[in-house]
Every structure is written in structure tokens, then in C-alpha cells.
């Protein structure tokens, strides 16, 4: 099915954001594992897998619309130096992805592509409710418990 070039371009922009998130989560999860924070490692590994599933959904939609998925470009990686900066950087990335998803949802509505809109709405829900919310919780726990207690709770 021939899709709107604007929609395909927006989907490829989102694909870049998702693949950037995959890379960032991958690096952060490995850093957590190296430092012995097994709970953070497991959670970020899970988040990376979810970002890959988001990318897969975008690729499938681009292909359905007769577009060509472009996974080569990446956004700027924000690699933290410690746990709080890593969590904050990941949260900033999620906020940016959410903003891009909202913009693409508006475009999908304008182009009357309601299937794409539905897919993007699901991704937005996952981004806001699962990813961003969890990161906000972790930063709140650090503030409430102190960094030493938080890190102790994340170790194996």
C-alpha cells in the first residue's frame, strides 16, 4: 500500500529515536551490570528489548506503506557517568521520544492514517506510562532514600 511520504518520513524519524534509545539503554544496562547493580541491569535490558519491539513495529509499518526503513542514523547518545545521571539522561530521551510521537500522531490524523495513529498511540502509552514513569520513580527514590540506600537496593 502506497503511504504518505510525510508519514514514512515521520516514522523513519521515530525509528532513529528508538534505535538511539536501544543503543543508550544497551550501554547503560551493561554499565549497571559491570558495577553489580543487577536490578538496574535487568530493568534496562528489558527496556532495551521494548525499544527494539517499538523499532520493529515502526519498520513493519514503513514497509507496509511501501517505504524504506532507515536504521543507520542515530541521535546523540547521552551516556551518564553515574546512576543518577544515567537515569536522568534516559528520562530526557524518553521525554524527547514522547514529544516526537505526539507530533507524528498529529500528522497521522491530518493525513487520515488512523492505523499509523493507533500504532503511535500505543508506543506513546508505553513511553509515558512505562518507561518515563519508571525513570521518574527511580529519581524520586534516590531523592527520598539517598543515593547510598538506593544503590544498595539495586545490588544483587
pLDDT digits (tens, 9 = 90+) for 7-55: 999 999 999 999 999 999 999 999 999 999 999 999 999 999 999 999 9
Output Rg (C-alpha) for the chain, integer angstroms: 17
Q: Provide the annotated binding site for Fe cation.
A: 18, 46, 50-51, 54, 94, 128, 131
Q: Return the CATH number at 68.
A: 1.20.1260.10
pTM over 0.85: yes
pLDDT at 1 over 80: no
Q: Provide the annotated binding site for heme b.
A: 52
Helices (DSSP H) in the chain: which residue ranges?
5-35, 38-64, 83-110, 114-125, 133-145, 147-154
Range of the domain at 139: 3-152
**How crowded is residue 135: how many other Cβ atoms within 10 Å of its Cβ?**
22
Number of domains in the chain: 1
pLDDT at 5 over 80: yes
Per-residue confidence (pLDDT) for residue 116, from 0 to 100? 97
Q: Provide the annotated binding site.
A: 18, 46, 50-52, 54, 94, 128, 131
Angle of helix 38-64 relative to helix 147-154, nearest 10 degrees? Answer: 70
Amino acid at each position: 500500500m502506497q503511504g504518505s511520504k510525510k508519514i514514512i518520513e515521520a516514522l523513519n524519524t521515530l525509528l532513529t529515536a528508538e534505535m538511539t534509545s536501544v543503543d543508550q539503554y544497551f550501554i547503560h544496562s551493561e554499565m549497571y551490570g559491570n558495577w553489580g547493580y543487577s536490578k538496574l541491569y535487568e530493568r534496562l535490558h528489558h527496556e532495551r528489548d521494548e525499544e527494539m519491539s517499538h523499532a520493529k513495529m515502526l519498520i513493519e509499518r514503513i514497509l507496509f506503506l511501501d517505504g524504506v526503513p532507515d536504521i543507520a542514523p542515530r541521535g546523540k547518545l547521552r551516556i551518564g557517568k553515574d546512576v543518577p545521571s544515567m537515569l536522568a539522561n534516559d528520562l530526557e530521551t524518553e521525554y524527547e521520544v514522547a514529544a516526537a510521537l505526539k507530533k507524528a500522531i498529529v500528522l497521522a490524523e491530518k493525513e487520515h492514517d488512523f492505523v499509523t495513529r493507533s500504532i503511535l498511540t500505543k508506543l506513546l502509552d508505553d513511553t509515558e506510562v512505562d518507561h518515563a514513569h519508571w525513570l521518574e520513580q527511580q529519581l524520586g527514590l534516590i531523592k527520598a532514600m539517598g543515593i547510598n540506600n538506593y544503590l544498595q537496593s539495586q545490588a544483587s
